[in-house]
Structure formats: structure tokens, C-alpha cells
Amino acid sequence: MKKKKRSSSKKSVRKSSRKPARKTSKKPSGKSSKKVRVGKVKRLSQADLKLFRGLLLELRKKIVGDLKQIEGETLNTSQRDASGDLSGYSFHMADMASDNYDRELNIGLATNEQQILNDIDTALKMIDAGTYGICEIYGTPIPKKRLLAMPYTRLSKKAQEEEEKNKRRS
């Protein structure tokens, strides 16, 4: 059996060729109203912008139609008309509760549709400004796959997850 020779008692220190990581601050909690300066970010081509503008306008048209339908069915009718009760007599409380639930559900749907409509209008303005497809928080490009799924999105997946996490905390 051979014994290894020790050349010296000191271990040689090998320097790493890696640079220390830069400290980056976590993005702001909650509000995404801060505009990020868009520098040298790869922007979408004119053909892509035309495609997304078409998608946004088509989606906008559909949502406006949905909102008009919800408004016509729910918001412009009285509870008595909605329940089909044409007599002056009271009806069962369970029927009234069911009608109230349907009415509140439709109002919630209309609120969600209105928010998406506002997001679509913002996305169309971003196309005109040349900032469409760029995350508002990080300033990075939003993948086309995400834009095709949600053409009105303003945030990358990572930024959206952080924003939702911050909303749950508060």
C-alpha cells in the first residue's frame, strides 16, 4: 500500500472565475402603476402587432356584446319582472333568494367583463405607444404564447404571480 505525500500543510485556495451576483431588489409590492423604462428590449414585429390588434378588437367586440346582454337581462329588469311574478302577491322566500343570487352573479360577471374591457383598451393604447408585449414591472418581453392566450395582459408570468401573491397577503 502506497502512502500519499503531503506537499504542504496549507491548502491552495482556488479563485472562482465567477463574478459575485448582483443584488437585485424585489419588485414593488402590489401596485403595478409604475412604468418601467423600456430600453433595448426586443419588440414585436409589425405583423405580430397587427395580429394582436385584431385579436384584441375581436375580443373587445365579443365582450361588449356580452355586457349588453347581461345588462339587458339583469340590470334593466326589476326583481318582479325577473322572477316572472306578474301578480301583486308575494312569492316564496327561496324563489326570491334564488333570484337575488342570480342577479348578484350576473353583476359579478359584468364587473369582470368590464375589467377585461378596460385591460383591452389599455393594451390597444400600448400597441399605439409601442410598449405592447413588454412587462410593466420588469420591462422584459412577454412571451408570444402568453399574449396569444391573454392578449390584454400587461405582466409577465413571474410578475403576475408576484402581484397575486402580494394581493393575498394584504
41 within a domain of the structure (yes/no) = no
Would the pLDDT of 51 be above 80? yes
Locate all alpha helices (DSSP H) within 89-134, ordered by sequence: 93-129
pLDDT of 49 over the 60 cut: yes
Residues 152, 121: Cα–Cα separation, whole Å: 8
Q: What is the pLDDT of residues 98-116, one digit of tens each?
A: 888 888 898 999 999 999 9
For residue 26, is it within any domain?
Answer: no
**Per-residue pLDDT averaged across 27-52, rounded?**
67
Full DSSP string of 22-42: PP-PPPPSS---SPPP--S-P
Residue 136: HSE in the Cβ half-sphere, 13 Å Cα cutoff: 18
Q: Which three cell numbers stand for residue 133?
A: 408585449
In a domain, 145, yes or no: yes
Residue 101, domain member (yes or no) = yes
Domain total in the chain: 1
Say if 13 falls within a structural domain.
no
pLDDT at 99: 81
CA proximity to 35, closest of 150, 167, 118, 134: 134
For the chain, the average pLDDT equals 77
Which residues neighbour 54 within 8 Å (Cβ) at sequence distance 6 or greater? none
- Would you state the pLDDT for residue 73? 79
Domain span at residue 60 reads 46-82+93-169
Give yes or no for residue 146 having a pLDDT over 90: yes
30 in a structural domain: no
Whether 20 maps to a domain, the answer reads no
* Across 42-46, average pLDDT: 86
| Separation in Å, CA 101 to CA 14, 69, 71, 94, 96 | 70, 18, 16, 10, 9
| Angstrom distance (rounded) from CA 35 to CA 33 | 6
Is 22 part of a structural domain of the chain?
no
* pLDDT, position 3: 54
* Residue 106: CATH number of its domain: 1.20.120.910
pLDDT (average), residues 141-157? 95
